[in-house]
């Protein structure tokens, strides 16, 4: 189970600046349990965004967005609507945002911050995709996570260590920032690289002490 928290409406509105037509995809897996995904939350967010002046072209729910195949299947029915959209807003954990980015050639924005794992980690576990940093930047990085894709987890662009597009620690490993660059290029958002001056807040990623004090924590032992 992946715990997520919705970004504040102000943050989401600011993040979406410059977009008019928005397509919402909401996850009915872990996110629904956290009340950051699923149908109900999606409708609420849709209304808030409409009040803020955005046009919501359509919404859809996917059972588990960490399953890329499920995302592909579901969105195939919405091709027309997605084409009309300037961007996609995803109500899921960071893995769901990245799986949407992989199957949709549009800028993808995260509505949530991914906080921590509790037990089961989605069903796209073959690679580490989300570090539960609690401060999702996938909107700026084209839906590819710099924290898990860059060996140094750099937030402000590539280091000088990549050779032939590969990471300095392993000649077989793609440079995360090269992937981000290519993706931003393909969705026409290279200018995002000028917006990045991020300093990570590690306090956001530590599990709340309340959780470790809870009775469930003791039972799980």
Partner 1 sequence: MKLKELFFKKFVVTSEIGPPKGWQIDKLFLDIKELKNKVDAINVTDNQSSVMRLSSLVVSKLLKDNGFEPVYQITCRDRNRLALQSDILGAAAFGIENLLLLTGDHTKLGDHPQSKPVFDLDSVSLIYTVKQKLEQGLDLAGNKLDGEPPKFCVGAVVSPCADNLDSQLKKMEQKIKVGAEFFQTQAVYDIDKFAKFTEKAKNFGVPVMAGIVILKSVGMAKYMNENVAGVYVPDNLIEELKKDKDKTKSGQTGIEISARLIQQLKPLCQGIHLMPLGWDDKVSEILKKSGI
Residue 187 interacts with partner 1 (CB under 8 A): yes or no:
no
Q: Closer to partner 1 at the Cβ: 68 or 183?
A: 183
When binding is defined by CB under 8 A, the residue of 102, 131, 196, 205 that contacts partner 1 is 196
Q: For tokens 């949407």, what's the residue? A: 100
Residue 18 interacts with partner 1 (CB under 8 A): yes or no:
no
Closest distance to partner 1 from the beta carbon of 147 (Å): 10
Q: Which of 113, 123, 24, 142 is nearest to 65 (CA)?
A: 123
Q: Do the strands 21-27 and 55-62 form a parallel or antiparallel pair, or are they unpaired?
A: parallel
Q: Which of 97, 161, 166, 87 is nearest to 129 (CA)?
A: 97
> Any alpha helices (H) in the chain, and if so which ranges?
9-15, 30-33, 38-51, 68-76, 79-84, 94-103, 146-149, 176-186, 209-213, 215-220
Residue 48 interacts with partner 1 (CB under 8 A): yes or no:
no
Pattern 146-185, binding to partner 1, x per CB under 8 A? -----xxxxxxxxxxxxxxx--xx-------xx--x----
When binding is defined by CB under 8 A, the residue of 127, 197, 215, 219 that contacts partner 1 is 197
Closest distance to partner 1 from the beta carbon of 143 (Å): 18
Residue 29 interacts with partner 1 (CB under 8 A): yes or no:
no
CB 75 within 8 A of CB 68: no
């Amino acid at each position: 189970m992946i715990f997520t928290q919705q970004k504040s409406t102000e943050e989401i509105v600011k993040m979406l600046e410059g977009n008019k037509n928005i397509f919402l995809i909401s996850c009915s897996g872990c996110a629904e349990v956290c009340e950051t995904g699923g149908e109900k939350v999606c409708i609420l967010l849709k209304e808030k965004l409409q009040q803020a002046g955005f046009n919501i072209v359509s919404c859809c729910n996917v059972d588990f967005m960490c399953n890329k195949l499920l995302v592909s299947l579901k969105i195939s029915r919405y091709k027309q609507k997605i084409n009309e959209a300037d961007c996609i807003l995803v109500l899921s954990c960071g893995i769901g945002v990245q799986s949407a980015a992989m199957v949709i050639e549009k800028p993808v924005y995260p509505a949530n911050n991914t906080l921590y794992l509790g037990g089961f980690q989605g069903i796209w576990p073959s690679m580490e995709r989300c570090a539960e940093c609690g401060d999702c930047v996938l909107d700026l990085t084209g839906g590819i996570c710099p924290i898990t894709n860059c060996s140094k987890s750099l937030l402000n662009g590539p280091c000088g260590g990549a050779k032939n597009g590969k990471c300095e620690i392993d000649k077989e490993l793609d440079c995360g920032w090269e992937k981000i660059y290519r993706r931003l290029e393909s969705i026409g958002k290279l200018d995002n690289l000028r917006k990045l001056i991020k300093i990570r807040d590690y306090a956001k990623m530590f599990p709340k002490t309340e959780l470790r004090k809870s009775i469930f924590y003791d039972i799980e032992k």
